[in-house]
Structure 1
Amino acid sequence: MGSLVPLQDLNLHPDPTTLSPTPIRVKPEPIDDELELIPSSPPSQPPDNSNVYSEFNRISEMFRSAFAQRMERLGDVDVLNSETGAIVPVPTEENRVSAVVVSPNRRQKRSNELVRVTNLSVEDQRHFRDIVRRTRMLYDALRIYSTSDSMWDGSGRRARGDLKAATIMRERGLWLNMDKRIVGSVPGVYIGDLFYFRMELCVVGLHGQSQAGIDYLPSSESSNGEPIATSIVVSGGYEDDEDSGDVLVYTGHGGQDKFHRMNNHQKLEGGNLALERSMHYGIEIRVIRGLKYEGSLTYKIYVYDGLYKVVESWFDVGKSGFGVYKYKLVRVEGQPQMGSTSLKFAHNLRTRPFELRPQGYLTLDLSMKKDNMPVFVFNDIDTDKEPLYYNYLSRTVFPPFVYGGGNMGCDCVTSCVSGCLCGMKNGGEIAYDHNGFLLRGKPLIFECGNYCSCPPSCRNRVSQKGLKNSLEVFRSRDTGWGVRTLELIPSGAFICEYTGVVLTREQAQLFTMNGDTLIYPGRFAEKWGEWGDLSQVYPDYVKPTYPSIPPLDFAMDVSSMRNVACYISHSTSPNVMVQFVLYDHNNILFPHLMLFAMENIPPLRELSLDYGVADEYTGKLSICN
């Protein structure tokens, strides 16, 4: 495992009579003021190894606060006793092993121990990434489920799904990183990760404040009486902020009225003092940007942009005429591209591709308008043009006999409800919420089809409408041909169908004799069982078994006709899953292979699928590329 370097003082014992805890004035976002807040009591931790770290070093050093002394001379601010000590990380040769296990039923106060996680191996990184991925998947499933019809109390107002999900997970000790306050990178959270809700930042431990823009260890909890900042949210709530990407001038909190207008001088206390202290010790600050995004389900989205260091702080007269504290932050070098930069680049790429990337495009629409959205093909690595040699197939081709038999549909006038015929075929519930997101995975989903009376706008018609997001097939040195999205894809959203020409078992045997590569739908990993799995929250939760289908015994030929899905790479920890769906026929032996997002997928991030077990004869995965 990696190393945890605790950032705390072991030897200092300041006189409590000389320290006066400073009040915390949060830096709220304008849009969040009217939101119902989660109670401030912290969550406990689950009894697994998701937050068990192995190595850490303990060090400390005495210091004197030169900046606090200087500001005290100005006479217009209140500061803590400048004689107090604080933490300074320095190298050490002594390591200690520590295991932390917290009972899920015990309410645990948020830790006051600052640690830095270092030296994670590749396996460690995968381990923590999987923990974060599963936690976020549970959060999204709870959020979507809590706003469904089954959770509506009939009062005319639907529950705030983001708050409800966070509350449930907090009560069951499912928030991450509560046993440590992490300085620097949070294991399992990648630069570019995107969040729709502030509460999700708290759930994964990236930013521990539901409204405040500065997350920090308060002076009242510090061993030496000085606050330390660990992360900030930059969302345009203060007029004096200046953001040029790698360099950020961040305005401290305080001095605003309820309408977010400056009406008083800011003070060097709470988060303001914490940022100054973090500058003094060279502590990295996690920066999360809140951005407006066209077509987003929420007012703004939040993207993690990496680590910055505070290099300068000063007291200045703001645009309003009141005094404000300003902090200049510079991004630490050597990190991946900022997520906010990728968002803007992908947005412009959809409309000005040749201007941004003059070379490398093989075509701007692989589907030749057969799909709803264009599919780019890009290769700036070699001369391979393989995707251009196949006919594009926007929908799966089934044998004619599949469409035989009865075709009954619902007689709904508007959108379908759980009690209609199609709802009953799905086990008494509609599979999607009102935004078209999958509530939970099932062995099979029946969508409304041609024999139903409901209109095309019915919420039970989702995957049959085709591609919804702009995608790009691209050449990669790591995975060969792959697929990445050019738009933000929310978790639970439909992406596209995995198409091909369906072959019966006998036909497939003839094809394999000639060495042709086929896709076997029955071998895809059943990741649908993970989406909407609430067993961690509700012990009596049972994985859906209805509608049930027998083992699939057909193959799909993609040797001459295929679509964009055939270039999605294999992964055992995928961000895309296969959900079997029927809508144009009722033969449960031959369902459509519909692909749904298992997590929020940011623009330019590669899509991945778990193709399942290898062929018992060839030892190869059932993947066409």
Structure 2
Amino acid sequence: MGSIVPFPDLNLLPDTRISSSTPVPVPAAVIRRPKLEIRVKSEPIDDPISDIQTPDLIPSSPPPNDPNFLALEPSPSTHEDSTNVYSEFYRISEMFRSAFANQMQQHQHPQQTPLDSDSGAIVAVPDGDNHISALAVSAPSIRRQKRSNELVRVTNLSVEDQRYFRDIVRRTRMLYDALRIYSMAEEERRIGPGAGRRARGDLRAATLMRDRGLWLNRDKRIVGSIPGVFIGDLFYFRMELCVVGLHGQSQAGIDYLPSSQSSNGEPIATSIIVSGGYEDDEDAGDVLVYTGHGGLDKLHRMCNHQKLEGGNLALERSMHYGIEIRVIRGLKYEGSLTTKIYVYDGLYRIVESWFDVGKSGFGVYKFKLIRIEGQPEMGSTLLKLAHGLRTRPLQVRSAGYLSLDLSVKKEKTPIFVFNDIDSDKDPLYYDYLPRTVFPPFVYAGGNMGCNCVTSCHDGCLCGMKNGGEIAYDHNGFLLRGKPLLFECGSHCTCPPNCRNRVSQKGLKNRLEVFRSRETGWGVRTLDLIHAGAFICEYAGVVLTREQAQVFTMNGDSLIYPGRFTEKWAEWGDLSQIYPEYVRPTYPSIPPLDFAMDVSRMRNVACYISHSTSPNVMVQFVLYDHNNILFPHLMLFAMENIPPMRELSLDYGVADEYTGKLSICN
């Protein structure tokens, strides 16, 4: 069981650790209303965000006169159970449980107010149609959960705790990504692609989740690591940092507890974003010189001296009390959907601060931060490593490569095979199979296609096969998972660049099969893979039931597609936002009753590791035939997967020792 460490008095107890099982004496809360104007260090490269306001702060009464009382206490109504490390996530889980338990009752009584009066998170959509057809129609909002002023540090998390919190963060991010992609697709349906200035899907998704109480870590302001957020996690949007509680400011580069909420008027900083947009910043990785805020004009040029106030003072006070700072780096990334990406690089300590004359001639405050030892490698370092491996692999690694292309040019993108652990060369002993091989009878019968001249639309024949909508957005990202997807095929007249032709085009991301001491052979990506993006096909030689029985008699292991868990149902599930959302059941598909032999011919997917909380899912797809009993097994990303991170699947049945199918060890 983990522990939450409160900050009762930073002057006296800079690093007190209190077990969650021990009652914590809680003094009465005394907080005064925050100032209306707070100077922040904005990020010059980011676009202004007008749709989302900075999270509200808690107004209350003036602080006491005790100069040694710095930290923020819980309110008088706070129960001692709030010190439990699971408090926030139990609250969300119970909120969802109670909401879903009353979903039918809510459907029968649409005028009823929130399903759970305590949660204030999920409300019904006043729409008689069970199909959520447009996200442009706003659902009723609830009272927003204000950000807590209570500083805590989460410690001593067990392996089970870490898995639990990771799953909560994973599901929250998956909901955010799916909602953002789906809302942009709805906007394109409404006004047409490229028609004028479009609404930003990242802001709309964050607003909907905030208004329903789905932002994480709002009842505690966490100092140090955020449970469930790993070093190296990558984000496309600033608002997603707010959603998971990693950085609570939508524009400001310094996130801190304002002095107006501190009992003795001293602010405390918790995280910073380093984007390289300030001329006096110096970033050497483990050592960082960060320039304070202030003194900028509207064009982000220095025009005045900085002052020791706001975020600058918060960083200085955090240095004084030895409080660690979360560092998120904003980096430009080639091929990204946005101008930059954000990667969490871990915890730093401020060791020095001083006032200096900047390059512009104006006075600036500088803060020297050093990364705390013993943490995993920085995500920004792995990004640079992956870039080097993609462009000059033999220069970055002088030894360990078994092959620079496992597919032997059968894929458009080469697949590396790397082993610096032992002498195992197992992947080289199989013929590479880029596409699944089906029995000839599968292709028997007609195969009707659409008559579209340009890219397909929801009303065309292929769109109707998918239940009246094209499965992908204009970037090729999966809108939501379904039991079965129909892509355009050879019988369709639409061009090769039709947006309904995605998985059939094959592998696009650069992958590497690598040897690990923990799990044997695995697969990691060298590219940044966007949530909802197609990765590759799980290929093999298809066997009928009778053929599979013969193979198993000989002791051979087979892949059974029917055993893969239905993770596709989680992607695009908007029931937490819209209670009337209905899980797709069309096109329907009967239980799959075939096996795949990968004992002699296989592809890269066969080396993907097993996980009950995977980052990759299986989506059944048809495009070259219409036999729903024999679909292709296409793999899609369930979350943003950073370079050098291992891919994982939920096979349903795996080897209990290695966590993998025995055929792929």
The two structures have a TM-score, normalised by structure 1, of 0.89
Does 2:120 align with 1:104? yes
Report the equivalent of 2:446: 406
Quick one: which of 593, 599, 609 aligns to 1:559? 599
2: CA distance, partners of 1:239 / 1:441: 45
Deviation of residue 42 (structure 1)?
A: 4.4
Amino acid at match of 1:130: D
3-state DSSP class of the match of 1:350? Answer: helix
Deviation of residue 86 (structure 1)?
A: 2.7
**Shift in alpha-carbon separation, 1:507–1:12, aligned structure 2, 3 A:** closer
Deviation of residue 157 (structure 1)?
A: 3.3
Deviation of residue 85 (structure 1)?
A: 4.6
Deviation of residue 184 (structure 1)?
A: 0.2
Moved more, 242-251 or 344-353: 344-353
Report the equivalent of 2:42: 28
Report the equivalent of 1:51: none
Report the equivalent of 1:604: 644
Does 2:180 align with 1:143? yes
- Contact 1:367 1:392 survives alignment (8 Å): yes
1: CA distance, partners of 2:275 / 2:475: 26
2: CA distance, partners of 1:494 / 1:487: 13
- Contact 2:467 2:586 survives alignment (8 Å): yes
- Contact 1:144 1:439 survives alignment (8 Å): yes
Amino acid at match of 2:486: F
Q: Percent same amino acid at aligned positions?
A: 80
Amino acid at match of 2:287: V
1: CA distance, partners of 2:273 / 2:560: 46
Report the equivalent of 2:431: 391
Alignment gaps of 5+ in structure 1: 45-61, 63-80, 90-94
Per-residue CA shift, 1:126-145, capped at 9, x if unaligned? Answer: 00000000000000000000
Deviation of residue 237 (structure 1)?
A: 2.1
Report the equivalent of 1:571: 611
Quick one: which of 476, 480, 487 aligns to 2:527? 487
Report the equivalent of 2:398: 358
Report the equivalent of 1:349: 389
**Shift in alpha-carbon separation, 1:588–1:309, aligned structure 2, 3 A:** same
**Shift in alpha-carbon separation, 1:12–1:549, aligned structure 2, 3 A:** closer
Does 2:343 align with 1:303? yes
1: CA distance, partners of 2:27 / 2:490: 75
2: CA distance, partners of 1:622 / 1:546: 34
Does 2:102 align with 1:86? no
**Shift in alpha-carbon separation, 1:84–1:316, aligned structure 2, 3 A:** farther
**Shift in alpha-carbon separation, 1:171–1:14, aligned structure 2, 3 A:** closer
Quick one: which of 286, 290, 298 aligns to 2:330? 290
- Contact 1:577 1:595 survives alignment (8 Å): yes
Quick one: which of 109, 112, 118 aligns to 2:155? 118
Report the equivalent of 2:164: 127
**Shift in alpha-carbon separation, 1:306–1:620, aligned structure 2, 3 A:** closer
Amino acid at match of 1:356: V
Amino acid at match of 1:129: R
**Shift in alpha-carbon separation, 1:88–1:283, aligned structure 2, 3 A:** farther
Per-residue CA shift, 1:460-482, capped at 9, x if unaligned? Answer: 00000000100000001111100
Amino acid at match of 1:7: F
2: CA distance, partners of 1:13 / 1:124: 29
**Shift in alpha-carbon separation, 1:88–1:365, aligned structure 2, 3 A:** same
Deviation of residue 40 (structure 1)?
A: 3.3
Report the equivalent of 2:115: none
Deviation of residue 37 (structure 1)?
A: 3.5
- Contact 1:21 1:219 survives alignment (8 Å): no
The within-5 A match list for 1:144-159 is: 144-149=181-186, 152-154=189-191, 156-159=196-199
Amino acid at match of 1:470: R
2: CA distance, partners of 1:348 / 1:275: 35
The within-5 A match list for 1:29-108 is: 29-42=43-56, 85-87=69-71, 97-98=81-82, 100=87, 101=91, 103-105=119-121, 106-108=143-145
3-state DSSP class of the match of 1:148? Answer: helix
Report the equivalent of 2:242: 202
Report the equivalent of 2:113: none
Deviation of residue 353 (structure 1)?
A: 1.4
3-state DSSP class of the match of 2:385? Answer: helix
Deviation of residue 11 (structure 1)?
A: 7.4
3-state DSSP class of the match of 1:519? Answer: coil
Quick one: which of 319, 334, 356 aligns to 1:316? 356
Deviation of residue 372 (structure 1)?
A: 1.0
- Contact 1:252 1:327 survives alignment (8 Å): yes
- Contact 1:518 1:624 survives alignment (8 Å): no
**Shift in alpha-carbon separation, 1:149–1:322, aligned structure 2, 3 A:** same
**Shift in alpha-carbon separation, 1:173–1:43, aligned structure 2, 3 A:** farther
Quick one: which of 400, 410, 413 aligns to 1:373? 413
The within-5 A match list for 1:142-291 is: 142-149=179-186, 152-154=189-191, 156-291=196-331
- Contact 1:519 1:556 survives alignment (8 Å): yes
Deviation of residue 355 (structure 1)?
A: 1.6
Per-residue CA shift, 1:140-188, capped at 9, x if unaligned? Answer: 0000000004665427333210000000000000000000000000000
The two structures have a TM-score, normalised by structure 2, of 0.84
- Contact 2:57 2:148 survives alignment (8 Å): no
1: CA distance, partners of 2:322 / 2:68: 18
Report the equivalent of 2:547: 507
Per-residue CA shift, 1:180-202, capped at 9, x if unaligned? Answer: 00000000000000000000000
Alignment gaps of 5+ in structure 2: 10-25, 59-63, 74-78, 92-117, 122-142
